[in-house]
Amino acid sequence: MATRKVGKYEVGRTIGEGTFAKVKFAQNTETGQSVAMKVLSKNTVLKHKMVDQIKREISVMKIVRHPNIVRLHEVLSSRTKIYIILEFITGGELFDKIVSQGRLRENESRRYFQQLIDAVDYCHKKGVYHRDLKPENLLLDSQGNLKISDFGLSALPQQGVGLLHTTCGTPNYVAPEVLSHQGYNGAAADVWSCGVILYVLMAGYLPFDCTDLPTLYRKINAAEFTCPPWFSPDARSLICRILDPNAKTRIQIEGIKSDVWFKKNYVANGHVEEQEVNLDDVRAVFDDIEDQYVSEQKANNEKGPLVMNAFEMITLSQGLNLSALFDRRLDHVKRQTRFVSCKPAITITSTIEAVAESMGLKVHSRNYKMRLEGLSANKAGQFAVVLEVFEVAPSLFMVDVRKAAGDTFEYHKFYKKLCSKLEHVIWKTEGTTKAALHRTKSC
């Protein structure tokens, strides 16, 4: 069984993976608190000249303390790694909810939009502009409240004086003035992205969507979109004032908050923390102060798949009901999904490798963990998926599947196609999970 500790944190499975960082599930051994640990290699940060961006992201998340923003607990450093300890959010991405349910009801969309605007307004008053607002960066906690994450492209106060000039964000959610390369107001650009998000929540699809980038940019610049017939007149009016291609006449947050549609059932969040922010630990991480290093301990006693302990299983299934861990529903695919198999671990991995290669994907495999890579559907970027095998009981294995790069819609299609080709490997439960677990020995 493999275990790893970083300082006071016991590190578990990988729950997210990007180009430059991995996010691990971890537990504070002193308090028992579950956290998300974002791990970055110092060499990678230096090689790609990302010191300022990472330092900015950490500093921003320490500055912003709002109930609808993912909380940063602390920052740690070893000789080779940077560890960002974040609030562990269990409800998944808002994007997953839209994909699985389709468009949301107007009242539900309004509640999420109200929470989004509250958090963005708070950031702007702190001089912080997110610049990459989209449903994939909006998480949901166990109570269904919205949490903004991923401040990697944010602009800090000292950068927010005057106009910003960096073209960043996701094309479908980016404001026209950001694409013009002539400088833009960070607050107005964030408001535009919020408008696109509101449209997506209520419509179930994007207002501006085209695989041909020049055509997409033309539609955004002209605000060429139509509202579906089920939008109420008040909602349509607000969205049109937000998706105004002229940043100078576009409605501002004060206007949104006074809008009749927005104000319906609106309750301002009164639990915002105001406290002095100390960035000494951030400076220490990047100044290589040796006495700030945390110890890394790793024990690996066998060469089989990682064993998932009970605490991780319960946390992963969001409670004591483990059905969410084992019930594979093809109509509910998340960026991180999983299925269960009674086949030997080596059979699972070799079958997945063969299926992936038949789908034209390049396979990198090591220690029951695989990365599948290929080009995205529009050939404009990379598509990548990571799979990892865990042993959850004798002769019972869970395969964790998560998107590492590419479009989320494309990942959903990929996962369904993969599962259809693995029907003989995936264990199909009958009855309750508890009863199925008793049958494990006969699989």
In angstroms, rounded to a whole number, what is the distance separating the alpha carbons of residues 9 and 170? 34
CB atoms near residue 36 (< 10 Å): 20
In angstroms, rounded to a whole number, what is the distance separating the alpha carbons of residues 84 and 167? 26
Q: Are 167 and 147 in contact (CB under 8 A)?
A: no
Q: Is 358 helix (H, G, I), strand (E, B) or coil?
A: helix
Q: Closest Cα partner for 431 from 327, 338, 331, 343?
A: 327
By CB atoms closer than 10 A (0-12, 13-18, 19+), residue 162 is exposed
138-140 and 81-87 strand pairing: unpaired
Q: Are 411 and 401 in contact (CB under 8 A)?
A: no
For the record, the structure tokens of 183 come out as: 């400088």
Q: Closest Cα partner for 83 from 122, 37, 47, 43?
A: 37
- Determine whether 132 is an active site residue: yes
382-393 and 306-307 strand pairing: parallel
132, 190, 259, 407: the active-site residue: 132
Question: Which residues, other chains included, contact 91 with Cβ-Cβ below 8 Å and sequence gap of 6+?
Answer: 139, 140, 141, 142, 144, 318
| 47 assigned to a ligand binding site | yes
By CB atoms closer than 10 A (0-12, 13-18, 19+), residue 442 is exposed
Overall residue count recorded for the chain in this entry:
443
In angstroms, rounded to a whole number, what is the distance separating the alpha carbons of residues 341 and 391? 10
CB atoms near residue 356 (< 10 Å): 23
For the record, the structure tokens of 76 come out as: 């740690």
- Cite the annotated binding site for ATP by residue number: 47
- By annotation, the residues acting in catalysis are 132
